[in-house]
Amino acid sequence: MTQHLSSTQAIPEVSAIPRHVAIIMDGNGRWASKRMMPRVAGHSEGLSAVRKIVQECRRIGVEYLTVFAFSSENWRRPPEEVGFLMKLFLKSLKGEVSRLAENDICLRLIGDLSRFDSAIQEMVQFSEEKTAGCKALTFTIAANYGGRWDILQAMRRCLTANPNLKSEDVSEDLLQPHLSMAYAPEPDLFIRTGGEQRISNFLLWQLAYTELYFTDVLWPDFDQAELHKAFDWFSQRERRFGRTSAQLASQVMSDAV
């Protein structure tokens, strides 16, 4: 597996199109409530938005797309809504995996999957294996995932792999390979729909130098045009990674010579 550099240890390459996009898909329930529909109808409509965004990211050359489908805190929601989400998750995996493979899209799942029933776990394994050789886009779904859980499980794995590890020897290089998304570079762009402006325990380690874009658009209404608005905003950001604007300008001039 390729070792991706940490943005706190090295300066990653910058481009107008983000290499890795991470999204919190918020607003499904409110979208449905505004239309006097049950909340679960919003989740079904949100799945259509996922398809559109996956297709567009693949079309324009985004290499990694990661979406927050179900957090470790979402178990607190009403049981009937959680049950519907589990059924929708299983149905969408069954319905989409062949389409993903046909479009050269690799599917990955991150999170503590042990809490899901056996049918979902088996479908996850099948889907990952079926798309493992796909190269055009890596599409990651975070399910029963939490950023703090990710760091804790990485530390446990690190200690298991290095049983004689001393505290002074702990480093990013040692821990990073054990994080859930060690196979991907850190996100360049984070998008949250639905008007909230927080990261809600999503990719806490990985978002250290990610550009954060918030929009009031509810997730079912987030389409290709809204994605490009986010990309246009991203392309105007000055990504310094701890440097000054003068240093950045100097580097640009040096690269142009």
Binding annotation for substrate: 27-31, 39, 43, 71-73, 75, 77, 192, 198-200
Q: Which residues are annotated as a binding site for Mg(2+)?
A: 26, 211
Clarify whether 188 is annotated catalytic. no
Q: Is 144 a catalytic residue?
A: no
DSSP structure string for 58-109: HHHT--EEEEEEEETTGGGS-HHHHHHHHHHHHHHHHHHHHHHHHTTEEEEE
Q: Which residues sit in the known binding site?
A: 26-31, 39, 43, 71-73, 75, 77, 192, 198-200, 211
Assign residue 56 a region (left: φ > 0; alpha: ψ between -120 and 50; beta: otherwise). alpha
User: Tokens for 134?
Assistant: 């796909």
43, with CB counted inside 10 A (0-12, 13-18, 19+), is buried
Question: What does DSSP say about strands 64-71 and 189-192: parallel, antiparallel, or unpaired?
Answer: unpaired
Just list the catalytic residues. 26, 74
